[in-house]
């Protein structure tokens, strides 16, 4: 297969920094909370205007709110700006149901918000290591609406780290009229409704639903609307939008809507339902970059009579420079009912350039699930993309069954417009690569079911452990776990190699590459980042492994070297320096160029309990932070 000739900018550089006081440690000032009364008193203190910047609030026990009506923490004039460390504890019995929920300013528009925390705002403000159970609903009338399990609004440079939501989250009020600048959105998110900061290593298990009659009714498993970054996170709850939205009903497994931002190392296992727009990972994306994302949940809905329905395994509707790289769908995708038009695709249901005429990019993606659709007038169903305008699809594979009623069904694309480009991809024999429109598909090959069963285009590596504690002189081996899609080859190990491995800073840890694993030996007391560069390969048409277009993926794990192996008593909060994501590193370099090399640090080893100055080329930040088991 040919290499992608255009740079895809969606990887990132993540920096952490430390001063004399350990950046990864809690603030020097710590407030402890161990009861529902103390949590309510803390809430009242924040809402009264007390400043918690530079303060860590730590739970010392599980807290039961006993389904009493909860007033959220933080207000528009007094947001929470400190660090809240749940320390692995659970707040259960949460009930936020007041019909007149609190005001949240988002840009120039005022929203009404409901959540445990209303507003998280300020550089380094964060919520970490917290689990929430209960119910959150927003029934406000005549307002833009936000409803989140843990946070309603998380501003720029904030972090939500290692949090889990089990609460059911819904929004059912009526938004504004959509006139004179009124955005008229109703947004529900399992962990956070509106995200402009970072959600790292978070999981949603609760059901998320939007039943609002707002013009735009939106639900996302982890986040409702994303303008920031979702990293190393997943959704396992059902996500749905009821058939009442006036213009668009949008549902997404990890995120409902993306406006810029990044999703990396994200997965969905929950079912997705929308009568309008639904995506396994993201419902609607406007220029969002998605990489190393997986969907296992069913995506679909019953389109309204005379309307339009769009369903996609990874993205429902992609617009204006969106990208999906190294993504795989294993969940059935359908667009049913009696709408006039139906679009369904294993990766994206519908895509086009938008007002800025920026091309969308889909590379090294795969679908192995059934894709179907039907419409009264017409349907466009594709193994990878339903309808495709001004976009690039390359180095990808479909092994799923494609079918439709009054439709055009293609092995790769249902309907391809003249400004779209399809190349170097494979699909099941017995169907056309492109069913309708401009039928050209360069170097695309039909394969039998037997060959597709072992064919690999998507390679996602990970370390077997993301955090290790070892003693000085102790050696630990970290094998590389590899997932391949759409096929499973006889020897998965043939599809990757470890290019290099090191520790930054190097004084704490000795690192060697041993075949398909990395061995780390504690050298001195302290903390360090173990990093490795993994080259992933794809299947060749000759039946072998094609190494000509290798994709390099960075892996990392945090190593803590002690005099004796032991885990921290309290799981750490996020470092004081927020993640910085840069769009200048490409996983697929232009012809004749090398993949940008890993940046390194020259600093030495810090004392145990402090954070070293480290840098890495990676987005899955959870791999180097403590994850409480």
State whether 359 and 241 are in the same domain: no
pLDDT level of residue 222 (50, 70, 90 thresholds):
very high
Which DSSP string corresponds to 63-118?
EE-TT-B-PPB--SSS-B-SEEE-TT-EEEEEEE--SSPEEEEETTEEEEEESSEE
* Sheet-wide strand order for 475-486: 456-463, 475-486, 517-522, 509-514
When mean pLDDT is compared across 168-177, 244-253, 441-450, 573-582, the lowest value belongs to: 573-582
211-215, 251-255, 328-332, 558-562: range with lowest mean pLDDT: 558-562
Report the distance separating Cα 373 and Cα 433, nearest Å: 17
Out of 453, 474, 491, pick the residue that ends a domain.
453
Asked if the structure places residue 291 within a domain, the reply is: no
Is residue 591 pLDDT above 60, yes or no?
Answer: no
The answer to whether position 419 is within a domain reads yes
What is the DSSP code (8-state) at residue 290?
A: E
Is 3 a member of any domain? no
Say what the pLDDT of residue 575 is: 57
Distance separating alpha carbons of residues 628 and 579, to the nearest angstrom? 21
In terms of Cβ atoms closer than 10 Å to its own Cβ (0-12, 13-18, 19+), residue 590 is exposed
Instruction: Write out pLDDT tens, residues 41-60.
Output: 999 999 999 999 999 999 99
The answer to whether residue 20 sits within a structural domain is: no
Query: Residues 273, 251: contact at Cβ < 8 Å?
Result: yes
What is the distance between the alpha carbons of residues 194 and 123, in angstroms, rounded to a whole number? Answer: 17
Last-in-domain residue among 453, 475, 507: 453
Q: What is the mean pLDDT of residues 305-314?
A: 89
Q: Are residues 254 and 333 in the same domain?
A: no
The token pair that represents 555 in the structure block: 């892996």
Say if residue 206 is in the same domain as residue 305. Answer: no
Q: How many residues does the chain have?
A: 629
Residue 262 lies in a domain: yes
If asked whether residues 199 and 302 sit together in one domain, one would say no
In a domain? residue 179: yes
Same domain, 266 and 301: no
pLDDT at residue number 56: 95
The CATH number assigned to the domain holding 568 equals 2.60.40.1080
Whole-prediction pTM value? 0.86
- In this structure, the answer to whether residues 446 and 465 fall within a common structural domain is no
286 is a domain residue: no
C-alpha 392/C-alpha 351 separation (Å) is 10
| Shared-domain flag, residues 427 and 512 | no
Token representation of residue 189 = 């998110």
Lowest mean pLDDT among 145-159, 293-307, 379-393: 293-307
> 72, 80, 84, 78: which is closest to 32 by C-alpha?
84
In a domain, residue 276? The reply is: no
Percentage with pLDDT > 70 across the chain: 81
Who has greater pLDDT, 185 or 625?
Answer: 185
The whole-number average pLDDT for the span 514-528 is 87
At 375 the pLDDT is 65
- In a 3-state reduction of DSSP, which class is residue 527? strand
| Domain limit, last residue, from 387, 419, 453 | 453
Q: Are residues 443 and 472 in the same domain?
A: no
CA–CA distance from 529 to each of 11, 380, 569, 582 (Å)?
19, 47, 20, 20
- Single out the residue of 375, 212, 394, 374 nearest to residue 384, CA to CA: 394
Residues 539 and 588 in one domain: yes
Stated as kind and residue range, the H or E segment containing 41 is: helix 36-47
Number of domains in the chain: 3
Question: Is the Cβ–Cβ distance between 84 and 74 less than 8 Å?
Answer: no
Q: CA angle, corner 177, sides to 176 and 178, nearest 5?
A: 95
Residues 241 and 353 in one domain: no
Kindly report, residue by residue over 494-509, the tens digit of the pLDDT. Answer: 999 999 998 877 888 9
Distance (Å, whole) CA 36 – CA 223: 27
Determine the distance from the C-alpha atom of residue 250 to the mean position of all C-alpha atoms in its chain, rounded to a whole number: 17
Distance of alpha carbon 122 from alpha carbon 606, whole angstroms: 28
Q: What's the average model confidence in pLDDT over 385-390? A: 96
Q: Residue 427: how many CB atoms within 10 A of its CB?
A: 29
Same-domain status, 411 and 473: no
Average pLDDT for 551-561: 75
Which has more pLDDT, 560 or 334?
334
Same domain, 102 and 194: yes
- The Cα 243–Cα 213 span in angstroms is 9
Task: Please state, in angstroms and rounded to a whole number, the distance separating the CA atoms of residues 529 and 18.
Answer: 13
Q: How far apart are CA 557 and CA 554, in angstroms?
A: 11
Q: Which of 522, 603, 617, 580 is nearest to 20 (CA)?
A: 603
**Is the model more confident about 565 or about 256?**
256
pLDDT (tens digit, 9 = 90+) per residue, 466-493?
677 889 999 999 988 899 999 989 899 9
The CA distance from 154 to 567, in Å, is 30
Three-state secondary structure call for residue 11: coil
pLDDT band at 26 (very low <50, low <70, confident <90, very high): low
Cα–Cα dist 513/315, whole Å: 37
Domain that holds residue 503: 461-624
Summarize pLDDT for 332-380 with one digit per residue, the tens.
Answer: 999 887 778 899 999 999 999 877 778 999 999 999 999 998 766 678 9
DSSP codes joined into one string, 155-175: -TT-EEES-EE-SEEEE-SB-
| pLDDT score at 600 | 28
The angle at the Cα of 401, spanning 395 to 404, to the nearest 5 degrees, equals 115
């Amino acid at each position: 297969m040919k290499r992608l000739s255009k740079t895809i900018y969606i990887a990132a550089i993540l920096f952490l920094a430390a001063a004399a006081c350990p950046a990864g440690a809690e603030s020097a000032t710590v407030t402890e909370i161990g009861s529902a009364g103390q949590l309510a008193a803390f809430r009242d203190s924040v809402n009264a205007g007390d400043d918690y910047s530079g303060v860590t609030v730590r739970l010392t026990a599980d807290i039961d709110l006993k389904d009493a009506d909860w007033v959220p923490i933080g207000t528009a004039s007094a947001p929470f700006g400190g660090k809240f460390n749940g320390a692995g504890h659970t707040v259960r019995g949460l009930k936020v149901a007041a019909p007149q929920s609190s005001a949240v300013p988002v840009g120039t528009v005022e929203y009404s918000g409901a959540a445990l925390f209303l507003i998280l705002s300020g550089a380094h403000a964060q919520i970490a290591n917290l689990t929430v159970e209960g119910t959150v609903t927003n029934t406000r009338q005549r307002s833009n609406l936000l409803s989140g399990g843990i946070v309603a609004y998380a501003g720029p440079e904030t972090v939500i780290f290692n949090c889990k939501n089990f609460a059911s989250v819904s929004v059912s009020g009526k938004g504004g009229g959509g006139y004179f600048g009124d955005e008229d959105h109703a947004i529900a998110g399992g962990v956070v409704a509106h995200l402009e900061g970072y959600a790292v290593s978070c999981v949603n298990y609760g059901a998320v639903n939007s039943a609002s009659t707002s013009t735009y009714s939106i639900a996302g498993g982890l986040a409702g609307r994303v303008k920031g970054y979702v990293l190393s996170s997943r959704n396992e709850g059902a996500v749905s939008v009821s058939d009442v939205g006036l213009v668009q009903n949008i549902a997404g497994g990890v995120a409902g809507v993306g406006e810029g931002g990044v999703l990396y190392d994200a997965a969905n296992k929950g079912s997705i339902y929308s009568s309008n727009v639904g995506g396994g990972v993201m419902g609607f994306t406007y220029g969002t970059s998605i990489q190393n994302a997986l969907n296992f949940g069913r995506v679909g809905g019953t389109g309204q009579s005379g309307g339009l329905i769009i369903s996609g395994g990874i993205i429902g509707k992609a617009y204006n420079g969106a990208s999906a790289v190294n993504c795989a769908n294993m969940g059935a995708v359908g667009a049913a009912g009696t709408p006039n038009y139906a679009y369904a695709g294993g990766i994206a249901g519908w895509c086009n350039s938008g007002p800025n005429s920026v091309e969308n990019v889909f590379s090294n993606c795969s679908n192995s699930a059934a894709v179907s659709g039907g419409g009264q007038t017409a349907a466009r169903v594709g193994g990878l993309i339903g309808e495709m305008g001004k976009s690039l699809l390359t180095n990808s594979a479909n092994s799923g069954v494609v079918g439709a009623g009054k439709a055009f069904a293609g092995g790769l694309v249902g309907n391809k417009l003249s400004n779209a480009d399809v190349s170097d991809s494979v699909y099941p024999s017995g169907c056309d690569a492109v069913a309708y429109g401009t039928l050209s598909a360069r170097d695309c090959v039909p394969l039998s079911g037997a060959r597709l069963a072992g064919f690999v285009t998507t390679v996602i590596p990970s370390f077997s452990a993301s955090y290790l504690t070892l003693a000085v002189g102790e050696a630990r081996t970290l094998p590389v776990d590899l997932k391949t899609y759409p096929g499973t080859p006889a020897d998965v190990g043939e599809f990757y190699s470890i290019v290099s491995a090191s520790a930054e800073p190097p004084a704490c840890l000795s690192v060697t590459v041993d075949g398909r694993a990395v061995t780390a030996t504690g050298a001195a007391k302290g903390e360090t980042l173990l990093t490795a560069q993994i080259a992933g390969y794809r299947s060749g048409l000759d039946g072998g492994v094609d190494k000509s277009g290798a994709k390099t993926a960075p892996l990392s794990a945090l190593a803590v070297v002690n005099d004796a192996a032991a885990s921290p008593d309290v799981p750490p909060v996020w470092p004081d320096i927020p993640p910085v994501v840069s769009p200048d590193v490409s996983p697929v370099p232009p012809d004749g160029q090398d993949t940008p090399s890993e940046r390194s640090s020259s600093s030495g080893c810090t004392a145990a309990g402090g954070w070293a100055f480290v840098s890495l080329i990676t987005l899955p930040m959870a791999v180097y932070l403590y994850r409480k088991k």
